[in-house]
Amino acid sequence: MASNKKVLLKVIILGDSSVGKTSLMNQYVNRKFSNQYKATIGADFLTKEVTIDDRTVTMQIWDTAGQERFQSLGVAFYRGADCCVLVFDVTAPNTFKSLDSWRDEFLIQAAPREPDNFPFVLLGNKVDLEPRAISAKRAQQWCQAKNNMPYFETSAKEGLNVEQAFLAIAKNALAQQNQSVDLYNEFPDQIKLTNTQKSNGGGDSCAC
């Protein structure tokens, strides 16, 4: 692909409520932080442009609601994601325990073609807070077992590691995209000028 082609990456942020998903996104996109907790209703959408190896990449960030009552809405958004960001709160052990179910649910709903190679990134947020419940080592172990998922310790409040984490997210997603470039120019699309044979195209078009 030519380097000047536009690239857009769909990034989904998942994690329990109040782990700081929206704050991370706000810090990354708007460089702002607020201590006030405002629950996300449904989902929020933000856009950020980054430059990676001379390519301009637009990240379409889907900040989903962590609260359980919005779950059914969230899963409808998973399909077609290029990267999934899992977030937990390093001071809240139960948010770490939920990671498995977040990841599993994502893989079921998004149904990526190669679930083992789908790019995830784990963020341990709120490292500015004490006391810490989940050590970096424990989080890294979890990541190792998950096909070496990259792990970043972040603080949305102080902007710590946020930029780096999102850059890694974009790079991972981009690498994944580049693996399968244009397989799509090869389909033989044939029109059969015949009245005796059933055409393939007819059936699926009516389902629209």
CB of 13 to other proteins, least distance (A): 12
When the beta carbons of 131 and 184 are compared against other proteins, the nearer one is 184
Q: Which stretches of the chain bind other proteins, using CB under 8 A?
A: 1-2, 5-8, 10, 42-43, 45-47, 49, 58, 60, 62, 73, 76-77, 79-82, 110-113, 177, 180, 182-202, 204-208
Q: Answer left, alpha or beta for residue 147, where phi above 0 means left and psi between -120 and 50 means alpha.
A: left
C-alpha dihedral, 77 to 79 to 83 to 84, nearest 10°: 50
At residue 171, what is the residue type?
K
Nearer residue to other proteins within complex by CB, 80 or 93: 80
State the angle between helix axes of 21-30 and 162-179 in degrees (0 to 180), rounded to the nearest 10. 90
Residue 78's φ and ψ, nearest 5 degrees, are -70, -35
> Closest distance between other proteins and the C-beta of residue 115, in Å?
13
Q: Check whether the bond before 131 is cis (ω within 30° of 0).
A: yes
Nearest to 157 by CA among 19, 22, 32: 32
CB nearer other proteins, residue 36 or residue 195: 195
Residue with Cβ nearer other proteins (18 or 60): 60
In whole angstroms, the minimum distance from the beta carbon of 112 to other proteins comes to 8
Q: Minimum Å distance from CB 204 to other proteins?
A: 6
